[in-house]
């Protein structure tokens, strides 16, 4: 057993009422390379958080401590045979056993839902939709230590076994520090430990000298280095689809900006993947793409069929903040978030604090502030220190 994935629950604490021979065998279908055993309603406090909140240790620590789920990451999506039991591994399972992990689990509603990872409550998934799901399993209320074991898929046994061991107190179970990943033949590992917050990776070195202009439809600031959905004209989308279908280069260099004026700022994107599902009912297309870099418009090149801009890259400022300035902007941001009544404010402030660097931290704050595209133009050429001064004034 790997200590990094938790300690072994004390097996002598199993109670007779736990029916040691009880066992349930199910086939779990997953498109997230994950198997979960949980009560979605017990995780309803994550309802306003991003869909992947469970991969961030700052979001999941309390759930690990209080035993709100048992889950394992696999090496693929697809179907897995899973056995849940109050008893020991069978002799055949012991012979096929690979890596294992331990988690705490507290059952409070007499049942648990075994699924493929799609039942985590989030801003995209309402926990209430699973109230009458056919995959519920009846489990006595109480505290359990869960040992999850990966088995050799070639042995003809289950792929994973969840052993539920009744305990008098959850504190006796030394749990994994994150969601465990168990793959037969490999050492156990965990994900989300010391997970980073905001990370933005700009692509300023390949900004061309000129690109097509498209009006910036978003009312908020696109974040350089982030992936966002941008609105493009139907005619441009149709041309790109035809190019793609013929095997030609369908990449289109584009500058998104409010006004095509010399000296104004915008954002450079280079979409290269197109499909019919991107078309909207209003005749436009919504295409998800990397916001490669902020740019400044240096010239205009109007033509009969297009309107091109000359441009230069404006990389995000890289100056480091003093500890005093950094602490000040974090404190003001956290206080501002608390006053917004945003249910996800704890997740959002923790993610900002874990940002990869000062620039990413400030861009993350700007993203959560939903700053207007007009206001963002003032901040694009600023240093990080000046951005802090601007934010401190705005957050007061």
Q: What is residue 6's predicted lDDT score, i.e. its pLDDT?
A: 57
pLDDT tops 90 at residue 293: yes
Report the alpha-carbon distance of residue 190 to residue 200 in Å, rounded.
24
Contact 2, 187 (CB under 8 A): yes
Rounded average pLDDT over 209-220: 92
Residue count of the chain, please give it: 396
Rounded average pLDDT over 152-164: 96
Rounded average pLDDT over 292-318: 92
Query: Which residue's structure tokens are 């909140």?
Result: 53
Query: Which residue's structure tokens are 């209430």?
Result: 128
Rounded (5°) CA angle 290-292-297: 130
Structure tokens at 278: 């991107």
Report the alpha-carbon distance of residue 104 to residue 69 in Å, rounded.
8
Please count the other Cβ atoms lying within 10 Å of the Cβ belonging to residue 52.
14
Please write the tens of the pLDDT for every residue from 244-288. Answer: 999 999 999 999 999 899 999 999 999 999 999 999 877 789 999
Q: Which residues contact 322 (CB under 8 A, 6 or more apart)?
A: 385
pLDDT tops 50 at residue 7: no
Half-sphere exposure of 118 (CA within 13 A, CB side): 11
Please write the tens of the pLDDT for every residue from 363-384. Answer: 999 999 988 988 888 899 999 9
Report the alpha-carbon distance of residue 251 to residue 205 in Å, rounded.
17
Contact 104, 142 (CB under 8 A): no
Give the DSSP per-residue string, 227-268.
EEEEEE-HHHHHHHHHHHHTTS-----EEEES---TT-EEEE
Q: What is the pTM of this model?
A: 0.81
Structure tokens at 15: 């109670």
pLDDT tops 50 at residue 201: yes
Please count the other Cβ atoms lying within 10 Å of the Cβ belonging to residue 122.
19
How many helices (H) does the chain have, and how many strands (E)? 8, 18
Please write the tens of the pLDDT for every residue from 225-251. Answer: 999 999 999 999 999 999 999 999 999
Beta strands in the chain (DSSP E): 23-30, 34-38, 69-73, 78-85, 97-107, 111-115, 136-138, 142-151, 160-167, 179-181, 189-191, 210-215, 227-232, 254-257, 265-269, 285-290, 293-302, 307-313
Q: Which residues contact 384 (CB under 8 A, 6 or more apart)?
A: 317, 318, 319, 320, 321, 358, 359, 362
β-partners of residue 30 are 78
Q: Which residues contact 345 (CB under 8 A, 6 or more apart)?
A: 337, 338
pLDDT tops 90 at residue 75: yes
Mean pLDDT of the chain: 92
Contact 163, 146 (CB under 8 A): yes
Rounded average pLDDT over 188-196: 91
Structure tokens at 14: 């199993």
How buried is 38 (Cβ within 10 angstroms: 0-12 exposed, 13-18 middle, 19+ buried)? buried
Q: What is residue 218's predicted lDDT score, i.e. its pLDDT?
A: 87
3-state helix, strand, coil in the chain (%, to 5): 30, 30, 40
Spacing of C-alpha 229 from chain mean position: 16
Report the alpha-carbon distance of residue 21 to residue 7 in Å, rounded.
23
Report the alpha-carbon distance of residue 297 to residue 211 in Å, rounded.
10
pLDDT tops 50 at residue 346: yes
Half-sphere exposure of 14 (CA within 13 A, CB side): 18
Domains of the chain, each with CATH number or no CATH: 3-191 (2.60.34.30), 210-313 (2.30.130), 323-395 (no CATH)
Q: Give the residue among 118, 117, 101, 123 at the shortest CA–CA distance from 180.
A: 101
């Amino acid at each position: 057993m790997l200590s990094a994935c938790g300690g072994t629950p004390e097996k002598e604490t199993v109670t007779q009422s736990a029916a040691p021979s009880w066992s349930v065998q199910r086939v779990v279908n997953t498109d997230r390379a994950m198997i979960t055993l949980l009560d979605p309603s017990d995780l309803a406090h994550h309802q306003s958080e991003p869909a992947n909140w469970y991969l961030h240790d700052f979001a999941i620590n309390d759930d690990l401590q209080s035993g709100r789920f048992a889950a394992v990451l696999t090496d693929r999506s697809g179907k897995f045979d899973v056995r849940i039991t109050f008893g020991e591994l069978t002799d055949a399972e012991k012979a096929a056993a690979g890596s294992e992990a331990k988690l705490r689990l507290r059952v409070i509603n007499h049942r648990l839902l075994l699924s493929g990872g799609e039942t985590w409550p989030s801003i995209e998934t309402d926990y209430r939709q699973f109230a009458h799901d056919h995959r519920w399993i009846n489990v006595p209320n109480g505290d359990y230590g869960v040992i999850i074991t990966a088995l050799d898929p070639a042995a003809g046994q289950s792929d994973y076994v969840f052993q539920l061991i009744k305990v008098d107190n959850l504190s006796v179970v030394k749990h994994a520090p994150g969601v465990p990943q168990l793959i037969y033949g490999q050492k156990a590992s965990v994900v989300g430990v010391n997970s980073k917050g905001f990370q933005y990776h700009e692509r300023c070195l390949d900004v061309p000298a000129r690109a097509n202009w498209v009006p910036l439809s978003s009312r908020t600031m696109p974040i350089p280095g982030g992936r966002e959905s941008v609105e493009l004209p139907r005619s441009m989308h149709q041309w790109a689809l035809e190019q793609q279908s013929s095997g030609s280069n369908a990449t289109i260099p584009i500058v998104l900006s409010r006004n095509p004026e010399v000296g104004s700022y915008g954002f450079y994107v280079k979409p290269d993947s197109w499909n019919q599902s991107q078309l909207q009912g209003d005749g436009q297309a919504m295409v998800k793409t990397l916001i490669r870099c902020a740019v400044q418009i240096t010239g205009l090149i109007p033509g009969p069929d297009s309107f091109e801009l000359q441009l230069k890259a404006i990389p995000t400022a890289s100056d480091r903040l003093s500890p005093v300035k950094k602490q000040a902007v974090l404190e003001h941001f956290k206080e501002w978030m608390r006053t917004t009544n945003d249910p996800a404010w704890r997740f959002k402030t923790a993610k900002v604090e874990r940002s990869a660097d000062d620039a990413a931290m400030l861009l993350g704050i700007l993203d959560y502030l939903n700053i207007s595209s007009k206001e963002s133009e003032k901040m694009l050429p600023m240093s990080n220190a000046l951005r802090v001064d601007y934010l401190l004034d705005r957050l007061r």
